[in-house]
């Protein structure tokens, strides 16, 4: 592995020393207000030499030969195409695009539920393109988000690889995942549904950290991730991406967009196959869950004669995953002979929106419908679940004078949940009683622009739940930008989550427990405040972009399920105390005129819970995380190099009394390298090494793997400490260094 590392750095140094052509840099901005324009297409008069602007409007072109001047054509939806001439000896050139009359915007941001440039939004929103995630290829977005500072995918089980996404230390149930603005991944699907979202359907990903419940309702109390799918109206093309690893993981992505007059269609498909059994820690359990997964996504976009838009999308997911003892076979499913956790998932999703034909008004109806079916066995314990979620929403945008931009909305969410556990059984256990929840809500938002430098966003949402009654969630966001290079944002708001007694804790799946509510449960609530500062710094060698945030969240009424007080009951009650989340994050984006790009950031946080006067550090929550990514092109060889990784500080882990395993994880970091060769007509061949330094937990991550059914748990000779089988001691994947290679093709 050291030889691979030496070779990589040798090539990287050689790239710096390699004689190359000249570099040409520019920054694309709006001609009216000077705001940077992201994702603009920059095409030079040299065949094959082009790029896109990044989130700060910056671009860099390096010619393969020594030339002193080139011509470029710059285009962006909603702006007039313009041509410019660039000289190599000049500093970064500012290029201003003129908006067309339609007023279309280049970026739809999540924070305000309205079309708006990122720089105009009073709410801090982070935007990530597919190219960012391709610096470390992964089979799904669940794995890819580990490259985003402050966002961490957390595996909860070493056998079946259940997982969720933490934002700034807030646990997975408090992160809402949207697809095209519609709540799709929630409840039951948060555990396994995240793995079925492929990169091929992604146009960009938007991240809001902190409560967004005043607009999006329940479950958006910790933050949200909005996956914006590709626009079928873009020019027809076919994209293919095939890759595999030395571990035996194989992934295939395909996406095609077609146009039929004013109708556009996007078809995306993904297949992931992993069937190799690895046991590098010699505990007779699979280190990585075996998986087969297929996902199909189809989106239609219709432009009506009155220029109003409508769209409809559907997605299907099928997955079969298994983890357990190395000798397990499907015939042992549901038995107590050989331990295995087998989860089979089928999922359907439908998303759409329709702009109502009301003259001089923008009234939009949006809806989503999904069904998630899970057929699973955890050893000999069956877990059969079925969830339906329907959501409809009507929004109305309205101007009030020259300075107020109003948004009114009303939504209704219906959730049906049923399983074979006591959670959905009748109180007397004699009949089944699925949960059926209606959650209506209305909201209003006012965006008040005092002048060119000050903007205030205020919002209020009202929801009604029959168990909790009326729930009110306010929000305030203040934005101040003294000039185009500096922006200060102050945000404060409240989030909430209604009762959801669904749990996949393995202890809850055993026995015939009676569900008991010890009190009238209050909705979980948070109050959050954060201060965000961004700065763009132009220099002679390129530019630097900084984004710093201070955040604080106060969490109360947290709902917990007690399985220990009474072995015949599951007792639900609100936390007798509160939780706090305090932290600071810094992101930096460095772009150099020689083509080198660097992204680095870190998050400091302290997340604790106070129960009955006792403060405890939250499980699986490190105090420090950091991310970095370096990219450098060697134009003369048509190569680019990527080096990225993340650092994680110690975190508190679930241990038994008198446990021989450490209560805290060690510091650890994961490093990845990649080399990409770019050919003609969109061909790319890439390869590299993941987990370069071969890190994985050396501790016994599974307690008593030799007795997974606890048949000898009561034997004092075999088990003097009274331990039981437990796979939840997890802080990093048990997966060592592995090579990968792949090929991408773009056909237009």
Query: What contacts 717, CB < 8 A, 6 or more positions away?
Result: none
Report mean pLDDT in 10-residue bins for the chain, 748 residues: 46 43 78 74 78 80 75 76 74 74 43 68 84 88 86 82 82 81 74 68 83 70 83 79 95 90 88 94 93 93 79 93 93 93 92 87 91 90 89 92 91 89 66 86 93 92 86 91 90 79 47 61 84 86 88 83 60 81 93 86 92 85 95 88 96 86 94 93 92 92 90 88 85 92 90
145, part of any domain? no
For residue 50, being part of any structural domain is answered with: yes
- Do 186 and 415 touch, CB atoms closer than 8 A? no
Q: Are 202 and 141 in contact (CB under 8 A)?
A: yes
Whether residues 91 and 219 fall in one domain: no
Give the tens place of pLDDT for each residue, 176-225.
Answer: 888 888 887 776 776 665 676 777 778 888 888 877 766 777 677 778 88
Which region holds residue 215: left if phi is over 0, alpha if psi is between -120 and 50, else beta?
Answer: alpha
Q: Degrees (nearest 5) of the Cα angle 309, 310, 315?
A: 140
Both tokens of 159, joined, read 């056998």
Residue partners of 480: CB distance under 8 A and separation at least 6: 453, 454, 455, 487, 488, 489
Q: What angle do CA 524, 625, 152 make, to 5 degrees?
A: 50
> What's residue 33's pLDDT?
63
Please tell me the pTM assigned to this model.
0.82
pLDDT at 556: 83
Q: How many CB atoms are closer than 10 A to CB 654?
A: 15
Shared domain check, 226 and 96: no
pLDDT for position 15: 43
DSSP secondary-structure letter at 509?
G
Helices (H) and strands (E) in the chain, counts: 5, 40
Cα 370 to Cα 61, 188, 228, 486, distances in angstroms: 44, 11, 18, 42
- Among residues 170, 118, 176, 117, which one has the least CA distance to residue 532? 118
Domain match, 600 and 727 both: yes
Instruction: Specify the residue for token string 């699925």.
Output: 434
Q: Is residue 124 part of a domain?
A: no
The pair of three-digit structure tokens given for residue 176, joined into one six-digit string: 């809402």
Which pLDDT value is given to residue 192?
62
Task: Give the CA-trace dihedral at 324, 326, 332, 334, to 10 degrees.
Answer: -10
User: CA of 140: how far to CAs of 331, 449, 679, in Å?
Assistant: 29, 40, 25
Question: What backbone phi and psi angles, to 5 degrees, belong to 418?
Answer: -145, 140
Domain with 51 in it: 21-102
Residue of 188, 159, 560 whose CA lies nearest to 383: 188
Give the tokens for residue 633: 């092109």
User: Is 317 a member of any domain?
Assistant: yes
| Percentages of the chain per state (helix, strand, coil), in multiples of 5 | 10, 55, 40
What's the CA dihedral at 648, 650, 653, 658 to 10 degrees? 150
User: From residue 419, how far is each of 188, 275, 290, 344, 374 by CA, in Å?
Assistant: 10, 29, 24, 14, 9
Same domain for 584 and 705? Answer: yes
Q: What is the dihedral of CA 216, 218, 219, 220, to 10 degrees?
A: 30
CB 345 within 8 A of CB 365: no
| Same domain assignment for residues 220 and 88 | no
Question: What is the C-alpha separation between 390 and 439, in angstroms, rounded?
Answer: 10
In a domain, 197, yes or no: no
Residue-wise DSSP of 504-522:
--GGGGSS-PEEEESS-PP
Residue 14 lies in a domain: no
Alpha helices (runs of H) in 159-279, residue ranges in sequence order:
189-192, 213-216
Structure tokens at 590: 């460095």
Averaged pLDDT score across all residues of the chain: 83
Supply the pLDDT for residue 505: 47
* Contact call for residues 670 and 696 (beta carbons, < 8 A): no
CATH number at residue 97: 2.60.40.1120
Residue reference for tokens 């279309």: 104
Radius of gyration of the chain (CA): 26
Q: What is the pLDDT of residue 232?
A: 80
User: Per the domain annotation, does 412 fall within a domain?
Assistant: yes
Please tell me the total count of domains within the chain.
2
Domain finish residue from 50, 82, 102: 102
Question: Are 80 and 103 contacting, i.e. CB atoms less than 8 angstroms apart?
Answer: no
pLDDT at 681: 77
183 occurs within a structural domain? no
What count of other Cβ atoms lies within 10 Å of the Cβ of residue 108?
A: 20
Q: What CATH number does residue 270 fall under?
A: 2.40.170.20
Q: Do the beta carbons of residue 682 and residue 746 sit within 8 Å?
A: yes
| Of 102, 121, 152, the domain-final residue | 102
Strands (E), 484-521: 486-497, 514-517
Rounded distance between C-alpha atoms, residue 554 and residue 522, angstroms: 16
Is residue 91 located within the same domain as residue 233? no
Pick the last residue of a domain from 102, 125, 154: 102
């Amino acid at each position: 592995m050291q030889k691979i590392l030496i070779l990589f750095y040798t090539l990287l140094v050689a790239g710096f020393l390699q004689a190359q052509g000249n570099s040409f840099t520019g920054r694309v901005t709006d001609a009216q207000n000077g705001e940077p324009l992201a994702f603009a297409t920059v095409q030079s008069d040299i065949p094959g030499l082009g790029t896109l602007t990044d989130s700060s409007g910056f671009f860099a072109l390096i010619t393969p030969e020594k030339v002193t001047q080139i011509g470029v054509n710059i285009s962006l939806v909603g702006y007039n195409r313009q041509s410019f001439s660039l000289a190599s000896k000049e500093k970064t050139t500012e290029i201003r695009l003129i908006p067309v009359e339609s007023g279309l915007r280049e970026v739809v941001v999540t924070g305000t539920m309205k079309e708006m440039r990122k720089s105009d939004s009073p709410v801090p929103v982070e935007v990530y393109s597919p190219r960012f995630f391709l610096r470390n290829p992964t089979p799904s977005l669940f794995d890819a988000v580990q490259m985003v500072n402050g966002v961490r995918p957390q595996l909860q089980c070493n056998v079946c690889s259940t997982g969720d996404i933490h934002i700034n230390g807030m646990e997975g149930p408090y992160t809402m995942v949207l697809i095209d603005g519609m709540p799709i991944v929630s409840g039951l699907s948060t555990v396994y549904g995240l793995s079925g979202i492929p990169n091929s359907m992604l146009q960009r990903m938007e991240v809001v950290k902190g409560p967004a419940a005043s607009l999006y309702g329940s479950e958006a109390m910790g933050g949200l991730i909005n996956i914006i799918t590709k626009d079928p109206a873009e020019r027809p093309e076919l994209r293919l991406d095939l890759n595999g690893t030395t571990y035996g993981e194989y992934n295939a992505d395909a996406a095609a967009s077609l146009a039929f007059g004013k109708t556009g269609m996007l078809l995306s498909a993904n297949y992931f196959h992993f069937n190799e059994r690895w046991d590098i820690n010699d505990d007779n359990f699979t280190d990585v869950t075996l998986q087969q997964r297929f996902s199909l996504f189809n989106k239609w976009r219709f432009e009506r004669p009155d220029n109003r838009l409508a769209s409809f999308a559907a997605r299907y997911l099928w997955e079969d995953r298994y983890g357990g003892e190395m000798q397990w076979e499907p015939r042992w499913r549901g038995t107590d002979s050989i331990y295995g956790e087998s989860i089979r998932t089928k999922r359907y999703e439908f998303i759409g929106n329709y702009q109502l034909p009301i003259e001089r008004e923008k009234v939009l109806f949006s809806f989503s419908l999904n069904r998630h079916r899970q057929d699973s066995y955890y050893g000999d314990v069956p877990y059969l679940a079925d969830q339906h979620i329907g959501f409809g929403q009507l929004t109305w945008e309205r101007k009030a004078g020259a300075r107020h931009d109003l948004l009114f909305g009303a939504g209704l969410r219906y959730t049906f949940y049923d399983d074979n556990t006591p959670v959905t059984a009748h109180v007397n256990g004699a009949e089944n009683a699925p949960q059926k929840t209606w959650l209506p809500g209305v909201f209003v938002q006012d965006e008040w622009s005092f002048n060119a430098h000050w903007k205030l966003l205020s919002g209020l949402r009202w929801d009604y739940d029959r168990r909790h009654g009326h729930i009110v969630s306010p929000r305030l966001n203040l934005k101040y930008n003294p000039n185009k290079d500096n922006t200060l944002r102050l945000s404060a708001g409240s989030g909430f989550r209604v009762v959801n007694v669904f749990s996949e804790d393995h202890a809850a799946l055993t026995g015939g427990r009676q569900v008991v509510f010890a009190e009238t449960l209050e909705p979980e609530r948070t109050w959050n405040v954060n201060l965000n500062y961004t700065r763009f710094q132009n220099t002679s060698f390129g530019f630097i972009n900084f984004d710093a945030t201070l955040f604080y969240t106060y969490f109360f009424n947290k709902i917990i399920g007690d399985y220990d007080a009474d072995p015949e009951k599951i007792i639900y009650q609100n936390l007798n105390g509160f939780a706090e989340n305090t932290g600071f994050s810094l992101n930096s984006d460095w772009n150099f005129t020689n083509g080198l790009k660097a992204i680095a950031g870190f998050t400091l946080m302290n997340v604790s819970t106070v129960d009955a006067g006792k403060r405890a550090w939250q499980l699986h929550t490190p105090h420090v995380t950091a991310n970095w990514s370096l990219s450098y092109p060697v134009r003369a060889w048509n190569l680019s190099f990527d080096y990225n990784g993340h650092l994680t500080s110690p975190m508190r882990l679930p241990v038994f009394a008198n446990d021989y395993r450490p209560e805290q994880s060690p510091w650890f970091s994961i490093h990845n390298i990649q080399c990409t060769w770019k050919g003609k007509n969109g061909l790319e061949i890439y390869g590299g090494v993941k987990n370069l330094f071969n890190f994985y937990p050396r501790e016994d991550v599974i307690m008593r793997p030799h007795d997974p059914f606890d048949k000898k748990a009561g034997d004092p000779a075999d088990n003097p400490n009274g331990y039981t089988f437990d796979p939840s001691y997890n802080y990093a994947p048990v997966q060592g260094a592995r090579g990968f290679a792949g090929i991408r093709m773009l056909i237009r």
